[in-house]
Amino acid sequence: MNPYAKLITLTSLVLGTTITLSSNHWAMAWTGLEINTIAIIPMISKSHHPRAIEATIKYFLVQAAASATILFSSMINAWTTGQWDITQLSNTTSCLLLTTAIAMKLGLAPFHFWFPEVLQGTSLITALLLSTAMKFPPITILLLTSNSLNPLLLSLMAITSVALGGWMGLNQTQIRKILAFSSISHLGWMTIIIIYAPKLTLLTFLLYTLLTSTIFLSLNTSNTTKLSTLMLAWTKTPMLNATLMLTLLSLAGLPPFTGFLPKWLIIQELTKQEMTPTALTTALLSLLSLFFYLRLTYFSSITLPPNSTNQAKHWFINKNTHILIATLTPLSTLLLPLSPLILPTT
């Protein structure tokens, strides 16, 4: 991509996110979301591959439909209440429409089908942006309107997302699709607690962003997109694969890694809210996700091909991101001892 085009694209991404985060008027929030959508489209389609163009069209259609639904929801609310303030969402129809629109933008079940396909058609860095930065503005809108949303609808969407994110990721061989279903599953964890503890949702999203960034940057360094190439990466970058294994276990939510912290706090909060069956169901469904995380870990650390392979081996390793990965990996695995500092704020 042209450096000037890349500069404009990244500046627009930051601008759109900032506008949405700082606005309390529906029109400004919608404008920020639209700027974000327009800015990410050149990054998805920059390879000019048919798969990338298909992913771009799918992404544009879904985001355009979701943005139109958000605008329609805010207009209905303004028509009935006379308020354009985001926090003053009181109309029932507007609440349902907004929940549907945000679920479409985030890729929450049952509006999740576009997300794995779009991630599969993009590069690893663009997939990282779609999984983290592009989800921040819609989650912020959910946080601002959480007091007005329907708890039952959000809980159903969240449990369905955790179930489908784990179930549909079981038979995947493409790493980007596996991480897409992982994102859907983690969104379920964030959504289920957003009404009862919004700060906990924000903490979960920030830790998920940290873990996912480490994984995507590690995969980008070794140029790995499939399980079959992940097996070969051990011979090229053994230390990177060892840290990737630990980060994957952390993303799975296994103690004593960082990823265990949000799941532990969410289950604790749900139990306090007398939602023990919901907490138990979510915890059991997350075992599906645990299976494919363990499979990724197994492929990244233990399995070596016993015979020759037809795939081309990459002779050049990009070392520019090693400092960033070296900084993110300890944070991705060793933050659990700091949980006493976080617990009072949640």
pLDDT digits (tens, 9 = 90+) for 288-327: 999 999 998 888 776 565 555 555 655 555 555 578 888 8
Q: What is the CA angle 329-295-226, rounded to 5? A: 80
Of 13, 51, 47, nearest to 32 by C-alpha is 13
pTM for this predicted structure:
0.92
Distance (Å, whole) CA 153 – CA 12: 33
pLDDT digits (tens, 9 = 90+) for 130-149: 999 999 999 999 999 998 89
Query: What is the span of the domain harbouring residue 38?
Result: 3-342
- Range of lowest pLDDT (60-74, 155-169, 191-205, 233-247): 233-247
pLDDT digits (tens, 9 = 90+) for 203-253: 999 999 999 999 999 999 888 888 888 877 777 778 888 899 999 999 999
Using DSSP, state whether 174 is helix, strand or coil: strand
What is the overall mean pLDDT for the chain? 89
pLDDT (mean) for 161-172: 93
- Based on the structure, what is the number of domains in the chain? 1
Interior/surface letters 70-99, b for 16+ CB within 10 angstroms, e for the rest: bbebbebbbeeeebbebebbebeebbebbb
